[in-house]
């Protein structure tokens, strides 16, 4: 069903994003946790590829999961600006998630439990994001909190 975005996309895109994230993590392992100019540029390029590819994926939850995963990879590789951008994109996508989706069997199902699970993982990841010294403490958390106001109909139990 194209309208629900489940299994309606080109199946390689999510796999490509995951593979590129894997390359970034492997690069970190090869450099033993310390990037030089070349490896740092490569990793930022990998994360940038994820950032521009994820919006073309139709399934809302696949996009949410890949934004979170790519943000975690960026954080692991000390690409904090890209991590913040990926996390903010993910949060802004929550407003697009419909309250119900149609499964492959034609039945409607609620997205609330899956969305609550995703938000829990998102908030757990925010614990590891260092503050930007040029902004207020807990900037991303505050940004997340302010944006939840527009999604209150979808997430009444999360915050």
Euclidean distance between CA atoms 130 and 127, whole angstroms: 8
Residue 17 burial (10 A CB sphere; 0-12, 13-18, 19+): buried
The predicted-structure confidence for 136-158, as pLDDT tens digits, reads as follows 777 776 766 666 544 444 454 44
pLDDT at 133: 73
More confidently predicted of 73 and 111? 73
Highest mean predicted confidence (pLDDT) among 20-24, 58-62, 147-151: 20-24
Mean pLDDT of 80-99: 89
pTM: 0.82
35: which DSSP letter?
Answer: -
CA separation for the pair 103, 21 (Å, rounded): 28
* pLDDT above 70: residue 110: yes
């Amino acid at each position: 069903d194209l309208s629900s975005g489940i299994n309606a996309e080109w199946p390689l895109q999510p796999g490509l994003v995951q593979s590129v994230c894997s390359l970034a993590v492997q690069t970190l392992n090869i450099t033993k946790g310390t990037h030089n100019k070349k490896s740092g540029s490569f990793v930022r390029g990998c994360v940038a590829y994820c950032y521009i590819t994820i919006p073309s994926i139709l399934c809302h939850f696949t996009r949410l999961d890949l934004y979170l995963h790519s943000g975690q990879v960026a954080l692991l590789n000390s690409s904090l600006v890209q991590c913040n951008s990926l996390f903010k994109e993910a949060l802004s996508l929550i407003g697009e998630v419909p309250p119900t989706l149609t499964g492959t069997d034609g039945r409607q199902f609620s997205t609330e439990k899956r969305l609550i699970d995703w938000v829990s993982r998102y908030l757990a990841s925010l614990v590891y994001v260092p503050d930007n010294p040029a902004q207020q403490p807990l900037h991303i958390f505050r940004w997340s909190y302010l944006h939840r106001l527009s999604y209150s109909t979808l997430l009444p139990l999360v915050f």
